[in-house]
Chains A and B, each alone.
Chain A
Amino acid sequence: MGIKLNNIFALAGVSMREMYRRKDFYVVLILTVILTLAMGSMNFFNEPGVAGYIKEICLLLIWIFALVIAITASARQIPSEIESGTIFPLLAKPVTRTEVLVGKALGCWIATGVALLLFYLIFGLLAASWEHSLDFSLNIQSYFAHWVMLGIVISMAFLGSVIFAAPSSNTTICLVVVVAIMVLGRHLNNLSLNMSEPLRTIIQVIYFSIPHIELFDFRKLLVHNYPAVAWDKFFLLLIYGIAYSLIFTLIACLVFNRKRLR
């Protein structure tokens, strides 16, 4: 079964345009700027250049909003096509189900990437205006790590959208899973050491199988002005993220190809 890249890019363009027509992104972007500026206008003991808390709040908002945009947009792509019946004329054209899913996922990923770029540009501008300096390397690394992490989340949401019936349940499950990995992911193996068998092995299997999306969170490095990550380690991290995105997309394609649409 051949995959035509033209079809994938055409479908990606359609889902990108669809995402930009929605107002969610613009609202959260303005909200982030307003909240950050409001926090930045506070005076703490007449000390200039205090930027840590502003950066922390701004990055927290970026992370929350980017995650919500990525999951909600991805979770509704396939179900809305099925529900409205537009999937049938689409599949009547010379387009395979794999192309539809990959095209839509790619569109979501690129659209969230562009939105994320705007977020990081604003963050960089605000941070530089308060601190009068900016570590370009770390900011660029942070952006790409965040974008690749969203790639994993988007592919997870697409897999969920072909498994679960309703987009709402898929969205909730994806958010819970992502937050759980962010909070617990790094500590699972450490926690399993205090457990008895077979729970210990089960936890360890989960630890080594889940995508460790918490690794892509460079917020602490940015907030506390640490130097950029070693580039070899950073590229390894990107490969790790892309590999997980491909795995989830591949499984989603397999499930979608076997799915009865009505």
Chain B
Amino acid sequence: MKEKITTVYIICLLFVLCFGLACDLDRWQDSSSRKQDESSGFFSAVLGETEGLISALLYLKADVYFHRGYYPSIFDNTSESTGSKMEKTAGHPDEHGHNHEKCEKDYSREPLDWIDRFSRSFYPSVHVHADEIPRGQKEILPWLKLSATFDPHRIENYTVAAFWLRSLGKINEAEEFLRDGLRANPGNPELLFELGKIYKDDRKDITKARNILELSLARWREVTAKEKEPDTFLLQQILVHLGQLERDQRNYPLAIKYFEELKKYSPNPQAIQKQIDEMKEEMNKSAAN
């Protein structure tokens, strides 16, 4: 009887201990999940660090679709590459994938043996990009959206998807997706720049484009203020677009200011100087008239 009572006491004690621990853990979990929810949402709370890996894999999948399955495996030797071709094509406003430069994903080599030669008939062994077939780039989009769902802080998902959506004429969808990105990454200069391009090139809303591009420039300066050697590629792009916008509006002094700054970073300062000279000449003509 005494043993029975002791057992009941032990069970009660363990129950109280478990209850207390559960309450404490619940409070701790609540605060940690709130933190995660604030930063990333559902997937972040459930998957933790894994979501970044899944997002990276999905982004890679989008690149595989850009190359229509012709993609090197980890065992194939490729020339040194610093980012996907899909991203590079999307990053250069003047390069729409129709260039004939050698792509980093070119890994073709002479077949080593008869099995290697024979196997090439059964998988994609000709390098074609998705944008070389009509509306082929649409197949990239699901992977980018899924990748952004898993990791909303991967900026390239939004910028690359916005580029391809614009190329498909889906301006509203591109803007909506970029705004999703801005909600997850407030004030990101890259996303603001892409949004500015939509207003400048597609919507032809100069005032909004100017405001957004100027905000993008200000945010770039803010973000890179503490960096010793900031990546100036985005800065150059923002300055080019702002300069072009002001030049087209015949606001030459401001355009010259942007081009002067661009000259410091441009790999071809002579061409920039030539444009500055042309604008100065135009200003002088207007003053003379």
Contact = CB atoms under 8 A, between A and B. Distances in A.
A17 interface: no
Given A52-B139, A221-B123, A233-B121, A189 B177 contact: no
A208 interface: yes
A108 to B, nearest CB: 25
Nearest to B119: A215
Contacts of A230: 121
Contacts of A216: 122
B75 A190 contact: yes
Interface stretch (A21-29, A43-51, A111-119, A159-167): A43-51
Contacts of A44: 141-142, 145
Interface residues of B, number: 29
Interface stretch (B108-116, B196-204, B249-257): B108-116
B118 A191 contact: no
A139 B142 CA distance: 24
B118 A187 contact: no
A216 B119 CA distance: 9
B65 to A, nearest CB: 6
Contact of B115 (A46, A145, A193, A208): A208
A50 B139 contact: yes
A92 interface: no
Given A52-B139, A53-B143, A223-B69, A47 B168 contact: yes
Interface residues of A, number: 35
Given A47-B138, A47-B170, A186 B119 contact: yes
Interface string B59-85: 000000100110001011000000000
B238 interface: no
Contacts of A109: none
Nearest to A212: B115
Contacts of B165: 45
Contacts of A45: 141, 145, 161, 165, 170, 173, 177
Interface of B: 65, 68-69, 73, 75-76, 112-113, 115-116, 118-119, 121-124, 135, 138-139, 141-143, 145, 161, 165, 168, 170, 173, 177
